[in-house]
Amino acid sequence: SGRIDKAYPTVCGHTGPVLDIDWCPHNDQVIASGSEDCTVMVWQIPENGLVTGMSEPVVVLEGHSKRVGIITWHPTARNVLLSAGCDNLIIIWNVGTGEAMIQLEDMHPDVIFSACWNRNGSLICTACKDKTIRVIDPRKEEIVGEKEKAHEGARPMRAIFLSDGNVFTTGFSRMMHEMDTSNGVLLPFYDPDTNVVYLCGKGDSSIRYFEITDEAPFVHYLNTFTTKEPQRGMGYMPKRGLDSDLFQDDLYPDTAGPDCAIEAEDWFEGKNGEPILISLKNGYVPGKNRDLKVVKKNILDNKLSKNAENTSPANKSASSTPSIKNEAKLEEVLKEIKSLKDLVSSQEKRIIQLEEQMSKIAI
């Protein structure tokens, strides 16, 4: 039925509604979330799933001044995460250190509707409320291409990169000969292995498939999948999660695997890496996911990195004490030790004075 138990454990840490989530492509247990509370949180789910509710993320990323509506992981570099907020700001984070490495300011005069990495993660394309599509080199912090009035309509549009470097957009126009005439915002999901785009919309009850080719009209209608109930939300699952005994090479060519091509530090230094592909012919056997550890560059994070390692949501016991309480207790103990030292020092002075008085009396 698709229903779950009402008492099913949940991940609850944000103080406002969650607006976007994205599973890490290089760790099936790690998920990032953006919220109206202006924060980004990264969570590590236990390998066997949630047994109890989770309320403490591995790391909280703070840098936006308004709600965060877009979250997307880098396709080939480990621990690189992009977030975009209603403050018209794009931040690229190194999740491994919890740092905001790149901030793309003053590039978007209005709300950002979508942001998408290209195949190797060297560029991003964005759709903005000002009706302009921008292609940005995030490490150089410059716009390398833009298209004004990509769609005439004022309603939200979306833009995604195709594997050949072209940009595919959806939006609204006065003409009604487009892919879909529904009122909902069309959300494109792209399969780079087969060059197929799936279009669906909130409130719609159909999903349309189109193949992208080099021949006019370039976007070719394939089929429509219809459901009885309208769609409320959509997501795209990695193909390695398919549970099927049938396999056809032409339908399932090699696809991106869970291994990253480069580390975060390499990417921020200017290196690029293509996705590491795997074959699904003999099925996919998941390997052991390593724990996400956050190591910040300041001394205060000694405690935090241990917290990420020992009391991360995946390993945390119900009896563990939050680090803030530990800090308060430590400060209390230090104050007591200091007061005891002061007391001992004053008593020593008093003893010396009494000894001097006794020696005078004895004489």
Q: Which amino acid is at 334?
A: L
Q: Are 257 and 26 in contact (CB under 8 A)?
A: no
**How does residue 168 score in pLDDT terms, banded at 50, 70 and 90?**
very high
Is the pLDDT at 60 greater than 90, yes or no? yes
> Does residue 355 sit within a domain?
yes
> Does residue 353 sit within a domain?
yes
> Does residue 363 sit within a domain?
yes
Share of the chain above pLDDT 90, in %: 51
Q: pLDDT (tens digit, 9 = 90+) per residue, 26-54?
A: 999 999 999 999 999 999 999 888 889 89
> Does residue 109 sit within a domain?
no
Q: Are 107 and 115 in contact (CB under 8 A)?
A: no
Q: Are 321 and 52 in contact (CB under 8 A)?
A: no
**What distance in Å separates the CA atoms of residue 143 and residue 285, rounded to the nearest whole number?**
41
Q: pLDDT (tens digit, 9 = 90+) per residue, 186-208?
A: 889 999 999 999 998 888 889 99
**What distance in Å separates the CA atoms of residue 96 and residue 296, rounded to the nearest whole number?**
8
Is the pLDDT at 249 greater than 80, yes or no? no
> Does residue 314 sit within a domain?
no
Across 275-303, average pLDDT? 70
Q: pLDDT (tens digit, 9 = 90+) per residue, 125-140?
A: 999 999 999 999 999 9
SS3 state of residue 190: strand
Report which DSSP code applies to 240: G
> Does residue 247 sit within a domain?
no
Q: Are 337 and 345 in contact (CB under 8 A)?
A: no
**What distance in Å separates the CA atoms of residue 162 and residue 116, rounded to the nearest whole number?**
10
Which range is least confidently modeled, 153-162, 170-179, 236-245, 314-323? Answer: 314-323
> Does residue 177 sit within a domain?
no
Q: What is the pTM of this model?
A: 0.76
344: phi then psi, degrees, rounded to nearest 5: -60, -45
333: domain range? 323-363
Closest CA to 84 of 114, 125, 62: 114
Q: What sign does the dihedral 285-57-94-124 (CA atoms) show?
A: positive
Residue 132's contacts (CB-CB under 8 Å, 6 or more residues apart) are 146, 147, 148, 149, 150
* Residue-level pLDDT at 180: 52
Greater model confidence, 45 or 175 = 45
> Does residue 8 sit within a domain?
no
Largest CA distance in the chain: 118
**How does residue 318 score in pLDDT terms, banded at 50, 70 and 90?**
very low
Q: Are 77 and 263 in contact (CB under 8 A)?
A: yes
Place of tokens 């996705």: 275
**How does residue 326 score in pLDDT terms, banded at 50, 70 and 90?**
low
**How does residue 325 score in pLDDT terms, banded at 50, 70 and 90?**
low
* Residue-level pLDDT at 110: 95
In DSSP terms, 211 is beta-bridged to 196, 220
**What distance in Å separates the CA atoms of residue 90 and residue 138, rounded to the nearest whole number?**
9
* Residue-level pLDDT at 235: 85
How many independent structural domains does the chain possess?
1
